[in-house]
Amino acid sequence: MTEMLGTLLLLSLALQARRVCGDDTAAPADEPAPKVAIPAFTPYSVPGAALWEQFAGGLEPAWKRSLATKADKAENRYDGEWAAEDVAELAGVAGDKALVAKSEARHHAISTQLGQPLDPAQGGLVLQYEVKLQNKLSCGGAYVKLLTAPLRGEFSDATPYTVMFGPDKCGEAKMHLIFRHRNPVSGEYTEHHLMQPPVPPTDSMSHLYTLAVFTNNTFSVAIDGTERRTGSLLDDFEPPVNPPKEIDDPDDTKPADWEDDASIPDPDAEKPDDWDEDAPLMVPDEDAVMPKGWLVDEPLMVEDPSAEKPADWDDDEDGDWAAPMVPNPRCESADGCGPWERPQKRNPGYKGKWAPPLIDNPRYKGEWAPRRIDNPVYFEDRELYRLSAVGGVGFELWTMQSGITFDNIYLGDSVATAAQIADDVWKPKHDSELAVHAALNPKPPAKAASAASGVLEQLRARFAEIFTSIHSFYSVLREAGPAAALREEARGAAASAMAAVGLAWLAWNVLLLARLAIGTGAAAPARAHPPAAGDSDADAATASSTARAGAGKTATKRK
């Protein structure tokens, strides 16, 4: 009875909740999307940079697409197309050209040569560029390579680079920061990867990636102008640059007489005189007695008394006839027949083979390990920032999605310049994108609705609690009787108290809901501020630029 009442109450509450909150995911489908005024592109100049690229003048002649084949797989050509063109999705600046990887499921490679190589030994290195994933990204790279000077031949995966930096995503998104370092003794290059790199955003806004390598061997990685990872070139890369001073001697072998058994059989121990190695494990049980019903003289098998010699049996040809043997019928009711044998039991005097006890090995030398020798390729580089000079910048990527877009590439040695670019170029563009995105994706009056549904959620949870409690009290009453139920007194009392509190709650909330229902019936307040960066992730892919929205297209697709 109580349960039914409770269920009904909850049901009606749930229905009420639907009506009050409305279906807040339904969008007004055919309203024309609002226009947002976006700034027009104006060229920005950065004096003194090793590279400053806005792609306003197109690709040629500075940027050269590679038509090489990949070194690691000769059948893979760089057949992805590149273009310098206006951003199509969620543009924040009108007429702003950017470098776009155009082809799906293709290898793309493009590079440019610096007018003059940048030598990080002079004053460190600062690299900053924007990435915009116009079609989002399920699998592909958006990182940049700083190519080691001097540049030789067609750009490919085999082209030596000094630094590789930027986002990459195939499954999980991650940032790459890799630098290649030459071992001054062996002359070999090794790639050193940043450990615990930050996680890049993957929405379709323009995001700004900044790397600084300082002359004190530290580095800093920032996303959208916020520092996300700092550390030391010496300590935060895998494998570490400086090799170990000593290594195991590869020519050292374990001597034949090396004792690495910690314990040995005691050589002085002797077998005790009373140790009988031959004592059997099992012996006849001398205490056992033959059961009374045992028929010692009865054989187990007897001739079948009912058998008869066949009439056509010929003694001359077939030999003497003998009756077939059958189990002795007299043994069936007896404890047993024939000679009685004592059962076996475990021999209390059994000791088995004697073995000397183990003692500590006096000649034990421990685990053998090879001798340590000086590492022949050891060096200690305390000036890791002196990376190989950079002669060019290239993008060499595989991508499943088209529309990976790069813009506003700065390469130089000034953190201040990079920060100024961020403020003057990226920030206004990003703010504009957020405004466009917000206009194309009007949010429902989220505050009022979520407040109402929040209250309802709490109410529902509270009632579920109360009825579970009451239900368990009545279960005990029904199954074990009133005495047991009274033993559950505390619980029962709590349940009743909660029920009372709950009813008061209900009354109060119904009043509150009535007020809210009147409130949400009124016009929804327009969204006044752009969504937080995190908000944009889910929705940005479906948002279109103002150009599209302005053409009267329906821009509010919903997932």
Taking the mean position of all CA atoms in its chain, how far away is CA 177?
20
Minimum distance from residue 125 beta carbon to ligand NAG (Å): 12
The helix-helix angle for 2-21 and 489-521 (nearest 10°) equals 20
Site for ligand NAG in 400-439 (CB under 6 A): none
Residue with tokens 């990685």: 221
Nearer to ligand NAG by Cβ, of 161 and 214: the residue is 214
Of 86-94, 212-220, 364-372, 397-405, the segment contacting ligand NAG by CB under 6 A is 212-220
The amino acid sitting at 494 is A
- Asked if 112 is part of the footprint of ligand NAG (rule: CB under 6 A), the reply reads no
Site track 504-523 with ligand NAG (rule: CB under 6 A), x = hit:
--------------------
At closest approach, how far in Å is the CB of 415 from ligand NAG? 7
E strands along 260-403, which residues? 263-265, 282-284, 294-295, 301-303, 325-327, 336-337, 344-346, 358-360, 372-374, 390-399
**By C-beta, is 223 or 233 nearer to ligand NAG?**
233
Tell me the residue type at 532.
A
Nearer to ligand NAG, 110 or 127 (CB): 127
CB 408, CB 167: distance < 8 Å: no
Q: Between residues 79 and 227, which has the closer beta carbon with respect to ligand NAG?
A: 227
Nearer to ligand NAG (CB atom), residue 107 or residue 229? 229
Would you call 28 exposed, middle or buried from its count of C-beta atoms within 10 A (0-12, 13-18, 19+)? Answer: exposed
Tokens at residue 250, please? 């590869």
Cβ 220 to ligand NAG shortest distance, Å:
7
Sequence-ordered list of residues with C-beta below 8 angstroms from that of 490, at least 6 positions apart, any chain: none
- Token readout for 384 is 């890791």
Q: Which of 138, 216, 253, 344 binds ligand NAG (CB under 6 A)?
A: 216
Q: Closer CB to ligand NAG, residue 220 or residue 509?
A: 220
With CB under 6 A as the contact rule, the residue among 82, 129, 214, 426 that binds ligand NAG is: 214
Query: 3-state SS string over 492-531?
Result: HHHHHHHHHHHHHHHHHHHHHHHHHHHHHHCCCCCCCCCC
Residue of 112, 159, 162, 218 that binds ligand NAG (CB under 6 A): 218
Structure letter (DSSP) for residue 282: E
CA distance readout (Å), 203 to 104, 134, 399, 477, 537: 18, 8, 16, 58, 4
Q: Which residues contact 109 (CB under 8 A, 6 or more apart)?
A: 65, 66, 68, 78, 80, 155, 156, 394, 395, 396, 397
Q: Which is nearer to ligand NAG, 82 or 214 (CB)?
A: 214
Question: Toward ligand NAG, which CB reaches closer, 216 or 468?
Answer: 216
Joined tokens for residue 339: 């000679």
Shortest reach from residue 227's CB to ligand NAG, in Å: 10
d(C-alpha 26, C-alpha 159), whole Å: 52
The nearest distance, CB 214 to ligand NAG, in angstroms, is 4
Looking only at the bridges linking them, the beta strands covering 218-223 and 206-213 are: antiparallel
Q: Which of residues 308-327 bind ligand NAG (CB under 6 A)?
A: none
- Cβ of residue 69: shortest distance to ligand NAG, in angstroms? 42
- Closest approach of ligand NAG to the CB of residue 209, in Å: 18
CA Rg, the chain, in Å?
44
**Stretch binding ligand NAG (CB under 6 A), from 105-113, 213-221, 240-248, 299-307:** 213-221
Of 204 and 218, nearer to ligand NAG (C-beta) is 218
Q: For strand 404-412 and strand 125-133, is the pairing parallel, antiparallel, or unpaired?
A: antiparallel
Nearer to ligand NAG, 143 or 214 (CB): 214
Shortest Å, Cβ 232 to ligand NAG: 8
Report yes or no: 435 and 528 within 8 Å, Cβ to Cβ: no
Nearer to ligand NAG, 89 or 413 (CB): 413
| Least distance CB 390 / ligand NAG (angstroms) | 19
Segment interacting with ligand NAG (CB under 6 A) among 214-222, 303-311, 471-479, 506-514 = 214-222
* Number of amino acids touching ligand NAG (CB under 6 A): 3
CB nearer ligand NAG, residue 137 or residue 418: 418
- Report the alpha-carbon distance of residue 125 to residue 211 in Å, rounded: 8
CB of 216: closest distance to ligand NAG in angstroms?
4
Least Å distance, CB 547 to ligand NAG, is 42
End-to-end CA distance of the chain: give it in Å, rounded: 43
Instruction: With contacts defined by CB under 6 A, name the span among 211-219, 262-270, 295-303, 349-357 that binds ligand NAG.
Output: 211-219
Whichever of 111 and 218 has its CB closer to ligand NAG, that residue is 218
Distance CA 456, CA 463 (A): 10
Nearest distance from residue 386's CB to ligand NAG, in Å? 15
For residue 56, which amino acid is it?
A
Residues in the site for ligand NAG, rule: CB under 6 A? 214, 216, 218
